[in-house]
Amino acid sequence: MSDAGFDEWLHAFVADDGYYLACENGHGHLPPRRVCPDCGSTEFAEESLPETGTVAAVTTVHVPAPSFEADAPYDTVVADFGAVRLTGVVDAEPGTVEIGDAVEPSVGASETTGDDVLVLRPV
């Protein structure tokens, strides 16, 4: 099953072409998005994401959902990329990434399902 808008957005990270959608008033969002929930604008343009973001929150997950069973323990972080934040699984030893660390996005695969996962790698 495909998810139009989201799939293209995720796969853009494979080619290091990560982007977000900026409305005409500069509010950042992730696709699919038709209306800006900040201002109601319906005009969006793709803008390049910064190459790195900053970790804003982190957890080490020990009790996963079945779809991440073989991946645990793993770190999940929310990272700040300026106009948007991204949530991803960390490609590093669990428990080693900290708030304030720089991370870069890419696409990895769940060890459990093989599904594509947004990965954030410390740099």
Partner 1 sequence: MNGVRVAGVGLTHFGSHPERTGRDLFAEAALNARDDAGVPLDDVEQLNVGNFAGSLLEGQGHTAPLLAEAAGLDCPATRYEEACASAGVAVREAVRAVRSGEADVVLAGGMERMTNNDTPETTEALAIAADELFEIRAGVTFPGAYALMATAYAEAFDVDEETLKTDLANVASKNHDNALPNEYAQYQREISVEQALDAPPVAEPLGLFDCCPVTDGASAVVLVSEEYAADHDLSADVAVVGTGQGTDRMALQDREYLARTPAADDAAAMAYDDAGIDAADVDVAEVHDCFTIAEVLAIESLGFYEPGEGLGAARRGETRADGELPVNLSGGLKAKGHPVGATGGSQIAEMTRLLRGDHPNSDEVPDAEVGVTHNAGGTVASAVVHVLEVAE
Q: How far apart are CA 66 and CA 99, in angstroms?
A: 27
The residue among 17 and 98 lying less far from partner 1, judged by its C-beta, is: 98
Q: Is residue 103 within 8 Å of residue 123, measured between CB atoms?
A: yes
Whole-number minimum distance, CB 93 to partner 1, in Å?
A: 13
The residue among 5 and 46 lying less far from partner 1, judged by its C-beta, is: 5
Q: Is residue 47 within 8 Å of residue 20, measured between CB atoms?
A: yes
The residue among 46 and 76 lying less far from partner 1, judged by its C-beta, is: 76
Whole-number minimum distance, CB 104 to partner 1, in Å?
A: 15
Binding site for partner 1 (CB under 8 A): 3, 6, 29-30, 37, 56-69, 71, 74, 76-78, 84-89, 95, 99, 110, 115-118
Task: Please report, for residues 19, 42, 116, the alpha-carbon distance to residue 58 in angstroms, rounded to integers and kept in the order given.
Answer: 23, 33, 20
Structure tokens, 106: 């890419």
Residue 102: beta bridge partners?
A: 54
Whole-number minimum distance, CB 69 to partner 1, in Å?
A: 7
The residue among 46 and 116 lying less far from partner 1, judged by its C-beta, is: 116
The alpha carbon dihedral of 77, 81, 84, 12 has a sign of: negative
